[in-house]
Amino acid sequence: MNVLEALRQARRLLPPVSDEPELEAELLLRHCLGVDRASLYRLLTAELSEEEQLRFRELVRRRLIHEPTAYIIGRKEFFSLDLEVTPEAIIPRPETELLVELAIEVAQENPSAQALRVADVGTGCGAIAVALAIALPEAKIAAVDSSAGALELAKRNARRHSVERRIRFISGDLLKTLNERVNVIVANLPYVTTADWKALPPEIREHEPRLALDGGEDGLRVIERLLQQAPGRLTPSGVLLTEIGHNQGRAAKAAARTVFARAAVKIVPDLAGRDRVLAVRI
């Protein structure tokens, strides 16, 4: 079997579990052969060894039983950064890049002499913290998570991108162990309702950590606690940005208003016009 035949076979097999069978077949084969995209397409007529064929079959078998491709290959691109991912943390989603863009905008509005302090709460694999450390070289960043495994993964991703000295990794429940005030709180915390979590596809429900996704009965339990803790951790005129579900704008805004009566509170939509980020400027 040559490279092209292997790709075609995987593309034929993957549609029952994948909306992007071509892309996933390519990612799995590249991982199997340890080559980049350009090399794979140069090698289309090259024969796979017996061992390579066996390895590739095993990768496709894992995908067919709903293991996400990003966990199989151990990496995912986020904000143009190649990140390590493991089941200790969720696979970073493209929609979360909006949160990073908004945090960068806020930072750039404040070209103060003092380094901006940013806390990434629920850092997971460190996607947001690492992206911000690279985009904002003057900023001091704290990355918080209650999962020890996620924090270790986030540290490895910071080392991978040479920003480990710029990020303080903090184990704890939301802002409780953050012992300073920050200018920006940026958070992608669990916001799926428990009922919706139970109905998620097996790729997510059986492989990604429930602690990272299940936000309780209305999905907003963790975000509400973050809002309650935030006043004591934000500097005057600080900003809180937190990702929310596409139908949570009204409820999230109301929750923010109960804590921040005089703040500017708004919902920022994603490119599809759906609720995506709760932004609070105190």
Ligand X SMILES: C[S@@+](CC[C@H](N)C(=O)[O-])C[C@H]1O[C@@H](n2cnc3c(N)ncnc32)[C@H](O)[C@@H]1O
Give the interface with ligand X as residue ranges (CB under 6 A).
89-90, 92, 96, 122-124, 127-128, 144-147, 150, 173-174, 188-190, 211-212, 222
CA atoms within 13 A on the CB side of 162: 1
Helix (H/G/I), strand (E/B), else coil: 185 = strand
Give me the count of residues in the chain. 282
Sign of CA dihedral 71, 31, 24, 243: positive
Q: Output the six-digit token pair for 257.
A: 């208003």
Residue 52 vs 215, nearer CB to ligand X: 215
Closest among 126, 118, 116, 79 to 98, alpha carbons compared: 79
Helix (H/G/I), strand (E/B), else coil: 209 = coil
Residue 47 vs 105, nearer CB to ligand X: 105
Please give the single-letter amino acid code of residue 17: V
Give the nearest distance from C-beta 40 to ligand X in angstroms: 27
Give the nearest distance from C-beta 66 to ligand X in angstroms: 19
Give the nearest distance from C-beta 92 to ligand X in angstroms: 4
Give the nearest distance from C-beta 96 to ligand X in angstroms: 4
DSSP class of residue 137 equals: T
What is the Cα–Cα distance from 128 to 267, expressed in whole angstroms? 19
Residue 174 vs 256, nearer CB to ligand X: 174
Residue 124 vs 249, nearer CB to ligand X: 124
Residue 3 vs 104, nearer CB to ligand X: 104
Give the nearest distance from C-beta 282 to ligand X in angstroms: 21
Helix (H/G/I), strand (E/B), else coil: 55 = helix
What is the Cα–Cα distance from 127 to 81, expressed in whole angstroms? 8
What is the Cα–Cα distance from 197 to 199, expressed in whole angstroms? 5
Residue 190 vs 219, nearer CB to ligand X: 190
- Angle at which helices 3-13 and 50-64 pack, to 10 degrees? 20
Give the nearest distance from C-beta 150 to ligand X in angstroms: 4
Residue 7 vs 230, nearer CB to ligand X: 230
> What are the residues facing 93 on neighbouring strands?
none
Give the nearest distance from C-beta 15 to ligand X in angstroms: 27
Give the nearest distance from C-beta 124 to ligand X in angstroms: 2
Query: 49 — alpha (psi -120 to 50), left (phi > 0) or beta?
Result: beta
Residue 59 vs 99, nearer CB to ligand X: 99
